[in-house]
Amino acid sequence: MPKPGLIGKSISFGIGKNRQTISIVEKIAKGCFGSVWKACHKDQTYAVKVVGYAKMDERDKKLLANEVNCLREITQPASGIPGIPRYYDRYIDNDNGKLYIIMQYIPGKTLKELGDDVDKLAVTRSLLQIVKKLHKAHIAHRDIKPSNIIWCAEEQQAYLVDFGFACQIKPNEPIPDIAEFPVGTPYYTDYVTRKLDKIRIEKRLKPMDMWSVGVTLYEFWVGKLPFNTACIDSADDIFTIQKRNKIYTARTKNKIINAIINELLSNNAFCRGKARQMSYWSYLETSDILDVLSEDLFVCKLPPEQLEKLIKYVKR
Ligand SMILES: Nc1ncnc2c1ncn2[C@@H]1O[C@H](COP(=O)(O)OP(=O)(O)O)[C@@H](O)[C@H]1O
Ligand SMILES: [Mg+2]
C-alpha cells in the first residue's frame, strides 16, 4: 500500500562531516501553503516544513525567503534566544517547486491543543520571555497565536514557531518592504494599529505583537476569545469591536494575570504593556503587590508609574 504524502522520503542536508540524511516518518500539521513533518535520523528527530513555492506570488516568495533568513539568524547559538526551534538547513527541490526547512523538532502540544492540566503561569512566563528577547533583537513575529506556540512539558519551555511573517527592523538600517505587508491572522491581529499609517511602521509592529499576545493569553486563561465572535464576519468587524473597545476584561483568579492581559488588550497601542514589562509583572506574586498596598513596602523593583498602574489593576 503506498504511504501517504512524503512519508519515507529522504532529505540530505549539511556539508562535509555534517552531511546528514533524514527520513520523513510522520505528518504533524497541514498549513495554508504547505505542511510540517517529523523526520528522523537514528535517534535524532527533526521537523521539516515543506512549502510549495511554485504557485506563490512575489509577495509570498519574499515572505518565504524572509522566514528562512530570520529563523537562521535568530537561532544561531550566539543570538541566545531560547524558545525558538533551531534552524538546521533548507533544501530546494526545483523539480517539484518545494522548499524544505529543516529545524529542531519540538515535542509537545500547541496552546490550541493544551488542556487545563498545565501550569498556565509557567507557559505565560515562558511566552513573555521569548517575545521580550525577540523584540530586543528588533524582530516582530506578526503571527503570535495559540497554534504557533508549542509547550514542551519536558523542558518547561514554550517555543514560538512559524516565522513566515516575522519582520526585523534594525535601527539605522533600511526598512524591508515586507514590513508594510498587511499580514497576520484574524482575531489575533491589531487592525486598529495596523491602520495608523501616519505613524512609522517600526513604531507599530511591537505593540501589534503585544495585542496578539493579549488575545492569545486571554483565550488560554479564559477559554474563549476576548470579544463576541458571533457578530464578526470580516476583519472590518474586528476593527470596529477593537475601536469601540468592546473587549472583555479578564477576570481569572490570578490578579497579576488579569493585570497583564488587560494591559495588553488596551486599544491604545502606545500605552499598551511592552514585552519586557509584562514579563517582569508575570514573575510577581499578588502578595508582593498586596504588601506594597498594605504596608507601603517597596518590595518590587518596578518604576513608580508601572507600580501605580499594576496596583490599580490589582485593586479592581
Ligand atoms: N519545530 C517544530 N516542531 C514540532 N512541531 C512543529 C514545529 N514547527 C511547526 N510545528 C507544528 O506544525 C504546525 C504548523 O507549522 P507552522 O510553521 O505554524 O506552519 P503554517 O505556516 O502552515 O502555519 C504548528 O502549528 C505546529 O503544530
Ligand atoms: Mg502557523
pLDDT at 311: 80
pLDDT at 85: 95
- Tell me which residue of 76, 84, 66 sits closest to 179, measured CA to CA: 66
What interhelical angle do 201-222 and 275-282 show, nearest 10?
30
Please tell me the residue having the least CA distance from ligand 1 atom 1.
105
Residue 44's SS3 state is: strand
Judge if the beta carbon of residue 161 lies within 6 A of ligand 1.
yes
Judge if the beta carbon of residue 231 lies within 6 A of ligand 1.
no
Rounded distance between C-alpha atoms, residue 62 and residue 59, angstroms = 5
User: Are 138 and 279 found together in one domain?
Assistant: yes
User: Are 136 and 275 found together in one domain?
Assistant: yes
User: Are 187 and 45 found together in one domain?
Assistant: no
User: Are 43 and 185 found together in one domain?
Assistant: no
The Å distance, Cα 79 to ligand 1 centre, comes to 22
Please tell me the residue having the least CA distance from ligand 1 atom 23.
31
Q: How many domains does the chain have?
A: 2
C-alpha separations of 186 from 133, 236, 237 in Å: 25, 10, 10
Rounded distance between C-alpha atoms, residue 107 and residue 73, angstroms = 23
Rounded distance between C-alpha atoms, residue 193 and residue 61, angstroms = 26
Question: Residue 158: inside a domain, yes or no?
Answer: yes
Please tell me the residue having the least CA distance from ligand 1 atom 16.
162
Q: What angle do CA 73, 123, 169 make, to 5 degrees?
A: 30
Q: Which residues of the chain have pLDDT under 70?
A: 1-4, 292-301
Question: Residue 53: inside a domain, yes or no?
Answer: yes
pLDDT at 206: 97
Q: Rounded to 10 degrees, what is the CA torsion of 248, 252, 255, 261?
A: -40
C-alpha separations of 142 from 6, 18, 130 in Å: 29, 33, 14
Bridge partner residues of 20 (DSSP): 13
pLDDT at 293: 62
Ligand nearest to the CA of 161: 1
User: Are 196 and 64 found together in one domain?
Assistant: no
The Å distance, Cα 143 to ligand 2 centre, comes to 8
C-alpha separations of 139 from 69, 133, 257, 304 in Å: 12, 9, 25, 28
Ligand nearest to the CA of 49: 1
Question: Residue 298: inside a domain, yes or no?
Answer: no
Which atom of ligand 1 is the closest one to the Cα of 104? 1
User: Are 73 and 205 found together in one domain?
Assistant: no
Question: Residue 231: inside a domain, yes or no?
Answer: yes
User: Are 141 and 44 found together in one domain?
Assistant: no
Question: Residue 296: inside a domain, yes or no?
Answer: no
pLDDT in tens, 230-263: 988 898 999 999 999 999 999 999 999 999 999 9
Q: Which of 69, 88, 104 is the last residue of a domain?
A: 104
Q: What is the CATH number of the domain that holds 137?
A: 1.10.510.10
In terms of residue numbers, what domain contains 210?
A: 109-285
Please tell me the residue having the least CA distance from ligand 1 atom 5.
106
Question: Is the CB of residue 219 less than 8 Å from the CB of residue 226?
Answer: yes
Judge if the beta carbon of residue 50 lies within 6 A of ligand 1.
no
User: Are 114 and 253 found together in one domain?
Assistant: yes
User: Are 190 and 280 found together in one domain?
Assistant: yes
Backbone phi, then psi, for 176, in 5-degree steps? Answer: -65, 150
Identify the helix (H) or strand (E) that includes residue 20: strand 20-30
pLDDT at 257: 96
Question: Residue 114: inside a domain, yes or no?
Answer: yes
Q: Rounded to 10 degrees, what is the CA torsion of 208, 32, 160, 57?
A: -60
Q: pTM of the entire structure?
A: 0.94
Judge if the beta carbon of residue 47 lies within 6 A of ligand 1.
yes
User: Are 117 and 97 found together in one domain?
Assistant: no
Identify the helix (H) or strand (E) that includes residue 209: helix 201-222
Question: Residue 1: inside a domain, yes or no?
Answer: no
The Å distance, Cα 150 to ligand 1 centre, comes to 9
User: Are 77 and 129 found together in one domain?
Assistant: no
Q: What is the CATH number of the domain that holds 66?
A: 3.30.200.20
Rounded distance between C-alpha atoms, residue 178 and residue 70, angstroms = 12
User: Are 268 and 133 found together in one domain?
Assistant: yes
The Å distance, Cα 268 to ligand 2 centre, comes to 27
Question: Residue 83: inside a domain, yes or no?
Answer: yes
Question: Which three three-digit cell numbers place residue 243?
Answer: 475601536
Q: Which of 38, 73, 104 is the last residue of a domain?
A: 104
pLDDT at 115: 86
Question: Which three three-digit cell numbers place residue 188?
Answer: 489575533
Judge if the beta carbon of residue 175 lies within 6 A of ligand 1.
no
pLDDT at 295: 54
